[in-house]
Amino acid sequence: MTKHINEKIEELQEGAEWFYGDEFKLEEASGRYKKLVKLANEVEGDLEKLKNEIEVIGKDFSQS
C-alpha cells in the first residue's frame, strides 16, 4: 500500500513531536531520526513529481 503525501506529512509531524515528548529515549533517537529523514526525502520527491505534473497540465491548457 502506497501512502499519500498527506499521510507521510502527518507521520513526519508525529515523528518530530516524539523528540519533544515524554516518550523520548536517547537510545531510540538515532534510528527514528534516520527514518524521518528517509520519509522527508520521499515527501520531497513526491512533491517534486506533483509539481512537474502540474506544470505539464498548465502547459497543456496554455496551448489550447
Where along the chain do its domains lie? 5-62
Mean pLDDT of the chain: 92
Task: State yes or no: pLDDT of 1 exceeds 60.
Answer: no
Average pLDDT over residues 36-62: 91
Question: What is the CB neighbour count within 10 angstroms for residue 30?
Answer: 9
**Pairwise CA distance, residues 7 & 21, whole Å:** 21
Residue 9, CB-side half-sphere exposure with 13 Å CA sphere: 7
Residue type, 38: K
Q: What is the pTM of this model?
A: 0.80
Instruction: Count how many residues are written for the chain.
Output: 64
**Pairwise CA distance, residues 40 & 13, whole Å:** 10
Average pLDDT over residues 5-22: 96
